Amino acid sequence: MKLIKAGEKRYALLLAARDSDYVKKEYGGYFNVFVAAFGEEGERWDLFRVVDGEFPDMNELHKYDGFVVSGSPYDAYGNDHWILKLCFLLQTLDAMEKKVLGICFGHQVLCRSLGGRVGKACTGWDIGLRKVKIVKDLSASSFLEDLDEIPPSLSIIECHQDEVWEVPMGAEVIAFSDKTGVEMFAIGQHILGIQGHPEYSKDILYNLIDRLLNNNSIERDFAENAKVGLEIAEPDRKCWETICRNFLRRRQNFTFSPI
């Protein structure tokens, strides 16, 4: 058993996907991808493979400073036992006002758990780079204040065919795109959902596109167009990482002054 150092921050990744062969070979697994993107030196990060039924002890939740829920090939509106158990865990964390960051599937299942609505996107798959627009005149908190300049939009890697239809009561939409109405939402200071993948690098998405093509989830022309889009532009990864790190570590209120 590892002893926790006094003052050491502790986070948990709730992994809702199994490691692909590519990510395992290149990065040692998705856990390492998330910690590299959102972690900081001197912290402890624990891995729970919720997709395989591995969950944190409910009596240990108070020991964590925050939780990250990953993407998944499963539907956030599904009724698999582990998804229902995850929903209950997220409701518990919300009641405790623990920091929870949801990514893609995590964004959607957070929304579902807290009373929102999710389902298939009426416009189909969104794969590639997407420019999301930051909502102006936010009344609630945002997590953008450490950026040198708050841009009106940010590019992010996307890979999803489901989306948030309606946010939970008390939630605020922080960003949207031409494709998806809820790209980012927050509840108070402790819940943040992001539809895109701030943790992804281009090579991970290239491999994912190939896998989706090989299992006939997408058409070849669609796959090629997605790859072309990746070749001509870059995601704003550093900005997204800053937003996510700010959210997981800050305790004070935030204000947002759009440019």
- Where is average pLDDT lowest: 22-36, 78-92, 121-135, 244-258? 244-258
**Is the residue at 2 inside a domain?**
no
Q: Confirm whether 192 is domain-assigned.
A: yes
Label residue 235 by pLDDT band (50, 70, 90): confident
- Who wins on pLDDT, 251 or 257? 251
Q: Residue 38's pLDDT is what?
A: 96
User: How confident is the model at residue 186, as a pLDDT?
Assistant: 94
Active site residue 122: no
From the candidates 107, 160, 190, 197, which is the catalytic residue?
197
Structural domains counted in the chain: 1
Report yes or no on 185 lying in a domain.
Answer: yes
The answer to whether position 255 is within a domain reads no
Mean pLDDT over residues 215-243, rounded? 90
Residue 115 predicted with pLDDT over 50: yes
Is 15 domain-assigned? yes
Residue 5 placed within a domain? no
Please indicate whether residue 104 is annotated as part of the active site. Answer: yes
Q: How much is the mean pLDDT over the chain?
A: 89
Asked if residue 184 has pLDDT above 50, the reply is yes
Is pLDDT of 255 > 70?
no
Percentage of residues of the chain with pLDDT beyond 70: 88
Name the pLDDT band for 4 (thresholds 50, 70, 90): low
Catalytic residue among 190, 199, 239, 244: 199
Per-residue pLDDT band at 152 (split at 50, 70, 90): confident
User: 259 lies in a domain?
Assistant: no
What is the tens place of the pLDDT at every residue in 76-105?
A: 999 999 999 999 999 999 999 999 999 999
Residue 94 forms part of a structural domain: yes
Residue numbers of the domain that contains 73: 10-249
Q: What is the pLDDT of residue 1?
A: 43
Predicted TM-score (pTM) of this structure: 0.90
| 239 a catalytic residue | no
Provide the CATH number for the domain around residue 111: 3.40.50.880
Calpha distance 185→199 (Å, rounded): 17
Is the pLDDT at 206 greater than 80? The verdict is yes
